[in-house]
Each structure stands twice: as C-alpha cells, then as structure tokens.
C-alpha cells in the first residue's frame, strides 16, 4: 500500500563546526518521502519554485515517489539555514525564506484521495488538516510537529490531533505541549488530546512509544560518526509510516514497535552525511543489517 506524504520541500544551507554546504535538498517531506520509499510507494505533496533542480524529480521517479502532487510555482523554493554547535545536538536557525511556501495550499490530485496511510510531515497544522479534509477516510494517520506550532498555532494543532492515530514529536516538544517534566506523564497526557499512539524522540538517546496501556522504549543506533543531524526526525517519521504502509494491514502495538526500529535505522543513515546523500542509495540489506543490531541490543541475556 502507498503512503501519502505532505510537508516542506526546501533548499537548505547547513553549517557544522567542521563543514558548511549550501542549496542542498531538504525539507520535512523530502526526508520523510525518501525514507518511506524503502518500504512502500509514496505520493508526495508539496511546493517548489522555478529554481528547484529537475534532477530531484528524476530521483523521486526512480524511488517510486509520485510527484503529481508537487506544485511548481514561479518564484524561489523555500530556503532554510541552520548552524550546529560542537556537540551536533543543539542547533540555531540562521535564516528562513518562505518564498513559494508562503502561499502554499496543498491540493490533492484525484488519485491521492483514497490513500490508506498518511504522513503529515512537519508543516503548519492548519495545512495538515486541510490535507485530511480532502481525503476519503485514511486508515492510519501519522503526524509530526515542532515547537513553532506548539507556540504559535496551538488551536490549529488541537483541532488536528483528534484525527491523528500516531503523533511523533521530540522530548522538549512533548514537555512544552503538556507542561509535564516526566516524559512518561507527557506521553500519556498527549494521548488525551486525541492520538491513539504517541512516539517521543530523544535524539541520540532513542525513542519512547505509548499506546493503550502499552509502553516501549528503544535506544539509538550506536553511530561513531555524525556529519549532519538535519532531517533525522523527518526520516524517522518517514521510516515508520513507510514501514506501516508497506507491511501492515491493521496496525498493532507490535507493528509500531517494529516501525519505530526501522525509523531509527533510517535516521541513523540520514545523519551520516549531509542532506539526503546517505539516504539516496541504500540497499535493503544495509537497512536489515542495522535492524538486526537493534534486536541484539535489546535482548537481555545476562548470567544470574
């Protein structure tokens, strides 16, 4: 089954303490769609300007990412620039130029409206809801968000959440949303806003999953070299949603646990190189090898 992915498509400039690269493919939807495409066909929704490289449309085609829902508008593509501190953990946004993104209103092609799985990657919650309003009852809706929307568009986010099956957010966003210091309390509290399941990302410390009276915690892949953490969260969400769409009929907590590990595996590849460079040409063998490492890491077999 396919997954519909909507979000930002950007040209990023990223600076780390050792390197700086400009005009790289970025945006929440670019990362999420590429990660998802390893497990299921993708229907992409977004907007780009006239400066957007044609080669990326060829890349999407090769990856079974349908770009009929990507609007091409006269003007410049959304641009974002960020700078990381020495630990590659904290990041400052240096500049944002919305450009064609400013007047973006997602419009779904007819062939997208019946898609069963949806990933609302990070964009304004009013736009995320507008996508759902054009769909015929999707079976499973995953949504990502960020601190900006929690702070500036809380009413829109609250209107969206009852329509979301799985909400993905990071630890500081979960705390900010609930005013809880404990992540366990925060995860359970967010479920009261609507989503049946909640995934809380903790960066290099892994992720937590909440649903019903079930709970799951997984670590992060033990990477030695990180070059660019940009898009790790979007890649995690794309890996999860793509795995569910490509593999599962009725989503259970066990499926979500597996999806979370695949999301973590894809995110581990993402941060190994700038932009989407490492994500562009992975093999399923490479992905499954890391999945096995996760399984070994989480098995307890200690002498008594």
Which residues sit at the interface with ligand AMP, rule CB under 6 A? 8, 10, 12, 26-28, 80, 122-123, 148, 230-234
Rounded to the nearest whole angstrom, what is the least distance from the CB of residue 1 to ligand AMP in the complex? 25
Q: Cβ closer to ligand AMP: 9 or 248? A: 9
Q: Cβ closer to ligand AMP: 142 or 248? A: 142
Rounded to the nearest whole angstrom, what is the least distance from the CB of residue 293 to ligand AMP in the complex? 23
Q: Cβ closer to ligand AMP: 80 or 251? A: 80
Rounded to the nearest whole angstrom, what is the least distance from the CB of residue 137 to ligand AMP in the complex? 26
Q: Distance between CA atoms of 215 and 208, rounded to whole angstroms? A: 7
Rounded to the nearest whole angstrom, what is the least distance from the CB of residue 158 to ligand AMP in the complex? 19
Rounded to the nearest whole angstrom, what is the least distance from the CB of residue 72 to ligand AMP in the complex? 18
Q: Cβ closer to ligand AMP: 248 or 267? A: 267
Per-residue CA distances from 93 to 97, 187, 197 (Å): 11, 27, 30
* Closest residue to bound ligand AMP by CB: 26
Q: Distance between CA atoms of 139 and 89, rounded to whole angstroms? A: 35
Assign residue 138 a region: left if phi > 0, alpha if psi is -120 to 50, beta otherwise?
A: beta
In this structure, the number of other CB atoms found within 10 A of the CB of residue 40 comes to 18
Class of residue 275 by CB neighbours under 10 A (exposed 0-12, middle 13-18, buried 19+): buried
Q: Cβ closer to ligand AMP: 114 or 205? A: 205
Assign residue 212 a region: left if phi > 0, alpha if psi is -120 to 50, beta otherwise?
A: left
């Amino acid at each position: 089954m396919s997954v519909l992915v909507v979000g930002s498509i950007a040209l990023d400039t990223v600076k780390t303490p050792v390197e700086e690269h400009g005009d790289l493919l970025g945006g929440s939807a670019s990362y999420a769609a590429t990660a998802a495409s390893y497990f299921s066909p993708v229907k992409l929704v977004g907007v780009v300007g006239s400066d957007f490289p044609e080669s990326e449309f060829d890349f999407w085609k090769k990856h079974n990412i349908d770009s009929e829902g990507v609007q091409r508008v006269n003007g410049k593509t959304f641009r974002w620039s960020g700078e990381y501190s020495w630990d590659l953990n904290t990041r400052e946004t240096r500049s944002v130029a919305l450009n064609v993104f400013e007047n973006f209103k997602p419009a779904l092609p007819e062939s997208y409206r019946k898609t069963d799985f949806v990933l609302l990657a990070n964009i304004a919650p009013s736009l995320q809801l507008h996508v759902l309003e054009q769909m015929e009852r999707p079976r499973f809706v995953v949504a990502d968000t960020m601190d900006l929307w929690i702070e500036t568009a809380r009413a829109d986010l609250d209107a969206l959440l009852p329509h979301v099956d799985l909400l993905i957010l990071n630890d500081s966003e979960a705390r900010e949303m609930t005013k809880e210091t404990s992540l366990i309390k925060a995860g359970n509290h967010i479920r009261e806003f609507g989503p049946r399941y909640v995934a809380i990302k903790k960066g290099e410390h892994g992720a937590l999953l909440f649903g019903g009276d079930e709970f799951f915690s997984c670590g992060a892949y033990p990477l030695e070299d990180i070059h660019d953490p940009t898009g790790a969260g979007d890649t995690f969400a794309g890996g999860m949603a793509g795995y569910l769409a490509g593999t599962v009929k009725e989503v259970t907590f066990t499926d979500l646990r597996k999806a979370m590990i695949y999301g973590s595996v894809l995110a581990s590849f993402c941060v190994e190189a700038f932009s989407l460079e490492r994500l562009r040409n992975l093999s399923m063998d490479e992905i499954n090898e890391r999945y096995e490492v996760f399984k070994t890491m989480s098995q307890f077999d200690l002498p008594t």
